[in-house]
Amino acid sequence: MAYKHIKDLRVDRDIRQRELAQLLGMAQNTYSQYETGTIALTAEVLCKLADFYGTSVDYLLDRTDDPAPPPSRERREHYKL
């Protein structure tokens, strides 16, 4: 399964695979395999990417088309969600 949103986010920000792989502490080839779905994303990598892009893990996994992260606990409590 290819992770379309992960590639789209990287391309939209004009970041090379090599640059992102360095930030994540992995080889460019490994990152490329994550992006194409050749190997499954680990929870650790998903969390790092979600933090880096300011989005949700669900968006990275193509489970939603909404890139906005879910509201924080404080925001949910404030709005009684």
- At 23-62, the pLDDT tens digits run 999 999 999 999 999 999 999 999 999 999 999 998 998 8
Question: 57 CB contacts (<8 Å, ≥6 apart)?
Answer: 46, 47, 50
Tokens for 42, please give them. Answer: 């680990």
Is pTM beyond 0.85? Reply is no
Q: Which domains does the chain have, with CATH numbers?
A: 4-78 (1.10.260.40)
